Amino acid sequence: MNGDPRPRSLKLLALFFAVGLIAFGYAWITVHRRSMAALSSTDGPIRTHAIITHWIDHGFFASYGMLWPTPDEKFIYRSGTGAFMVSGFLLEKFWTAMTGRYGWRLIALHNEMVLLLVAALLALLAFRIARRLGGSPLHSLVLAVGAQMVWFTFPENLAGFWFLPEQTWCLLPALVFLLLEERALDVGRTRLLTMLQALAVFALTYIEFVAGTMFIVSYAATIFLLRGDRPSFKRLGAILLLPWICAFAIYGIELIGVRQVSRASGAKLTGSDFLYRSGLDGDAMFYGDHLDIAFGRDVVRGGRSPHLFRWEWLFLCGIAAVLATLAAYIRGRAPRIAAETLIVLIGSWFLYAAVFSQAVALHPYLFDVMLATPLIVALFAIVPALAESRMNQTGMIVLLAIFAATWLSMFQLRVYAICYPAPQPAGIQAGTH
């Protein structure tokens, strides 16, 4: 059932990225064919411009890497680091040094390249799990590409053209961590893998400390409670606790420094507190209870099209695929890594939504992708590979899966085309309400 356990990951990653470039090119000349006026007058790009130009003009370390999300520079966002904006800042700093002007399209292109990289990592993980389920190289490749295309065209991912929030950025180190976890099945838990996984946890936590914390808790619960080998407490401390402490320590230093900047500049520190984000403040103006995460979205649509959040069929079919995978694992027909991948990713979103329900309910466009990612992997890669293993590798299930992925990808492009650009709060604004 294991198939070839050691595919050449870097070559596969390059292949998936190349395939993703085709989808990117199609999107760039169709749904992303936007004017400079649209880019420079929409909320997301304006906020990105404000943050990056402030760092360029005043220096990145002068504000301790924290975000100044408004053009008037009257507010400093305190509820997270600026880690997810650093690569865009470095790119724009080089561009402005060379041309003397800010690149509105350049930052949109940068965001698309980040999304392509995440999609390629997702495809690589899907491929390797499909191979462990007994899928042939060709079938596994086709299923991985199908999952990649559905993920890349998910409307909120396409919206990264305008603004790429930290919740989407978090998926990059999370997928790297899970790929390393799968790799350990072949080479063992070496010191190099331990260091790389620790670095991934640090990056995840530093980018978005709540998502990082929930990922750590979800992973720890999964590996302790699922049957199978468990890493030692020493190793868990090295890959989970130590990088988490380091990320929070750096963030704490940034907060201390930025408070001094706030007093000196007169800029106001802004950001939601724990009671507001958790819903324990008792305010019921926009949010009732946890069920509003699914059923109370009309409140936060604003000027958006009602089509944007309608991915019920993907959700329901994805949940069915996850349950089928877990059932296969319980019956010994699927490896632990397949169940572990889905549980850790879904658990991260589930814990986030359980603890900070008001934040997730009021800003679903930031968090939907965290839930959609494992559902897509289960629906378009894992379950088809499982089904093929039970049908003597006839290829019929793979054929149906790739047709379904193609149809859904084009459907999602249409949804995006009629919904963007529209007045919308960006990721930074989510913490200022």
CA pair distance 186, 196, nearest whole angstrom: 16
CA pair distance 57, 68, nearest whole angstrom: 12
pLDDT score recorded for residue 1: 42
pLDDT score recorded for residue 138: 94
Kindly state the average pLDDT of the residues 164-189: 94
pLDDT score recorded for residue 309: 55
More confident residue, 251 or 305: 251
Tell whether the model's pLDDT for residue 429 goes beyond 80.
no
Tell whether the model's pLDDT for residue 5 goes beyond 70.
no
CA pair distance 119, 372, nearest whole angstrom: 13
- Residue pLDDT, tens place only, 72-124: 888 888 888 889 999 999 999 999 999 999 999 999 999 999 999 999 999 99
Q: Count the residues in the chain.
A: 433
Q: What is the token pair recorded at 375?
A: 């559902």
- Residue pLDDT, tens place only, 224-283: 998 777 788 888 999 999 999 999 999 999 999 988 988 888 888 888 878 878 888 887
- Residue pLDDT, tens place only, 282-295: 877 777 888 778 87
Report CA torsion sign: 89, 91, 95, 101: negative
Kindly state the average pLDDT of the residues 388-401: 89
Residue 35, by phi and psi: left (phi above 0), alpha (psi -120 to 50) or beta? beta
Residue 298 pLDDT class (50, 70, 90 cuts): low
pLDDT score recorded for residue 71: 84
Residue 63 CB contacts under 8 Å (≥ 6 apart), including other chains: 54, 55, 76, 258, 261
Q: Classify burial at 48, counting beta carbons within 10 Å of its beta carbon; exposed 0-12, middle 13-18, buried 19 or more.
A: buried
Tell whether the model's pLDDT for residue 389 goes beyond 60.
yes
More confident residue, 216 or 430: 216
Residue 424 pLDDT class (50, 70, 90 cuts): very low
Share of the chain above pLDDT 70, in %: 92
pLDDT score recorded for residue 181: 94
DSSP state, residue 286 = S
Tell whether the model's pLDDT for residue 432 goes beyond 90.
no
Tell whether the model's pLDDT for residue 296 goes beyond 90.
no
Least confident piece of the model among 32-36, 53-57, 104-108, 145-149: 32-36
Residue 29 CB contacts under 8 Å (≥ 6 apart), including other chains: none
pLDDT score recorded for residue 428: 41
pLDDT score recorded for residue 7: 52
Kindly state the average pLDDT of the residues 296-318: 68
